[in-house]
Structure 1
Amino acid sequence: MERSEPDPADDDVMDSFLEKFQSQPYRRGFHEDKWEEEFDKIPLFMKKAPSEIDPKENPDLACLQSIIFDDERSPEEQAKTYKDEGNDYFKEKDYKKAVISYTEGLRKKCADLDLNAVLYTNRAAAQYYQGNFRSALNDVLAARKLNPCHLKAIIRGALCHLELKHFAEAVNWCDEGLQIDAKEKKLLEMRAKADKLKRMEERDVRKAKLKAKKEQNQSETLLQAIKVYFEDEDRAELYQVPPNSTLLQVLQHPRYSVKALTPAFLVCVGSSPFCKNYLQGKKVHR
């Protein structure tokens, strides 16, 4: 095959273009003083996407976003896109935005139960790292309703129970996870920790009950030892006050009288020598 000869007209066009380019600077290029900022506005080279996309400031990025989240796509495709977006935010440790992305994915209500379980589980992880342990636990419970054997959901649920100091529940979740994978390192370590904390909690509860019982016994012993009386000065007689009586009940007694607006009582230890000597020879109404 014979090679075609170059067209001189093409060379003339190219030379003309190069001459024009040399004499007239390219007006759509980057500016020397802020080329890095302008370079970062190109979607392909962006280091981090803006939190809010302004079509006027970033028309290319807005166009890409409209293509990615096109409502004409199936709910499954849209949910997966939001899942991937949430994962990117999660890697950047922007857990708040990750939660928003996973939530948007769940709102698509796609028919893929496994995908929905992943969205719940991933949102639980993002909630966990924000310290929202109860919200995270609710998400893993929802994930397990869709997929009871979702190992990541079980692991994150056990973590939430640990943070909430539900040590017995944490042990149970670890046991359920180990039935699925008996060698899962995280579950083995977590179960040992949860079991130790559970036994410490039970020990503390026993100690608290014993202490409360001891204090109650001491209180009852003291109440039995202490005797309270009021005096009827007109008759020179004493009336013993029952330990469970209220002040109002005593003041309403027909033989009680208040002087100088101040109720007066005699309080002593019943078995003490003073009490025995003081009561000797006096008439006491019990």
Structure 2
Amino acid sequence: MERQEQDAGSDDAMDSFLEKFQSQPYRGGFHEDQWEEEFEKIPLFMKKAPSEIDPQENPDLACLQSIIFDEERSPEEQARTFKDEGNDYFKEKDYKKAVISYTEGLKKKCADPDLNAVLYSNRAAAQYYLGNFRSALNDVTAARKLKPCHLKAIVRGALCHLELKNYVEAVNWCDEGLQIDATEKKLLEMRAKADKLKRTEQRDIRKAKLKEKKEQNQNEALLQAIMVYFEDGDRSELYRVPPNSTLLQVLQHPRYFVKALTPAFLVCVGSSAFCRNYLRGRKVRQVK
């Protein structure tokens, strides 16, 4: 009897609800003129999440975010969430946001060295695609301190050294990686490329040094061949100027005179016939 009374009460409540539903307009539905925009605000149907989440504009999304990044969760869980978020941004080729996510994960300072190594290595990959090769190299170095045999970190480090033209270091990183996996195709290809570029660079350095030495020898020979003189004020004597003398030192010589505000010198090749004939019978002194 009591069960029948409860069922009757439930039926009456449902009838009352249906009458109210039919007599009053439904509240909370989409508006006909902007239903697409309102549909887009539902997290499940969003094509792309907004870069900045406004709790007033997107309360449902803000609620989900607070659940995902709940500070009461362990540092490992939070770091892993940021890693996954960074991976999603990386797949979308939004490397700047990926770097931010990986950085936030590292800030959690979780106790899992493998997870931290992955965060460093992944951030290095994002930095690499942004062209920040030195930052990427710093990250893979940090990843290897946590996990020396992290093959992805070694591959990315070798890539960075190639971009920075550190060919010797690139070869070394490739060799270290091949000790872990001798069949790693990327390392084999990079090592061959880095070794070739290293040999080319060393050859160019040798050529540049030989050219520099040759030019230096030519300059020294030219300095030895060229003779520089000046006449004293009475034109009775010539003074030979040492090759290493400066103009100021010569101008300060007591027997040097400047005429018409223009310093004058006689410059000739010491072994030439002109020089021998010009100096014949003239007294030459050495400037000290």
Q: TM-score, normalised by structure 2?
A: 0.91
Q: Secondary structure at the match of 1:227?
A: strand
- How many Å apart are 1:13 and its aligned residue? 7.5
| Cα distance in 2 between the residues matched to 1:88 and 1:180 | 29
What residue number does 2:197 align with? Answer: 197
| Cα distance in 1 between the residues matched to 2:235 and 2:196 | 68
> Do the aligned residues in 1 keep the contact of 2:229 with 2:240 (CA within 8 Å)?
yes
- The equivalences for 1:1-286 within 5 A come to 25-234=25-234, 236-286=236-286
- How many Å apart are 1:269 and its aligned residue? 1.0
Q: Which stretch shows the higher mean deviation, 43-52 or 23-32?
A: 23-32
| Cα distance in 1 between the residues matched to 2:174 and 2:48 | 38
Q: What per-residue deviation string (whole Å, max 9, x for no partner) do you get for residues 88-109 of structure 1?
A: 1111111111111111111111
Identical-pair percentage: 86
Q: Which stretch shows the higher mean deviation, 269-278 or 120-129?
A: 269-278
Q: What per-residue deviation string (whole Å, max 9, x for no partner) do you get for residues 188-232 of structure 1?
A: 111111111111111111111111111111111111111100011
Count of residues paired in the alignment: 281
Q: Secondary structure at the match of 2:262?
A: coil
Structure 2 unaligned segments of length 5 or more: list them. 1-6
| Cα distance in 2 between the residues matched to 1:32 and 1:200 | 69
| Cα distance in 2 between the residues matched to 1:204 and 1:21 | 86
- How many Å apart are 1:33 and its aligned residue? 3.3
Q: Which stretch shows the higher mean deviation, 130-139 or 41-50?
A: 41-50
| Cα distance in 1 between the residues matched to 2:80 and 2:178 | 29
| Cα distance in 2 between the residues matched to 1:181 and 1:196 | 22
| Cα distance in 2 between the residues matched to 1:245 and 1:188 | 58
Q: What per-residue deviation string (whole Å, max 9, x for no partner) do you get for residues 53-101 of structure 1?
A: 1000110111111111111111100110111111111111111111111
Structure 1 unaligned segments of length 5 or more: list them. 1-6
| Cα distance in 2 between the residues matched to 1:12 and 1:197 | 87
* Letter of the structure 2 residue corresponding to residue 269 of structure 1: V
| Cα distance in 1 between the residues matched to 2:21 and 2:59 | 27
| Cα distance in 1 between the residues matched to 2:15 and 2:68 | 42
Q: TM-score, normalised by structure 1?
A: 0.92
- How many Å apart are 1:10 and its aligned residue? 7.7
| Cα distance in 2 between the residues matched to 1:82 and 1:65 | 12
| Cα distance in 2 between the residues matched to 1:32 and 1:55 | 24
Q: Secondary structure at the match of 1:49?
A: coil
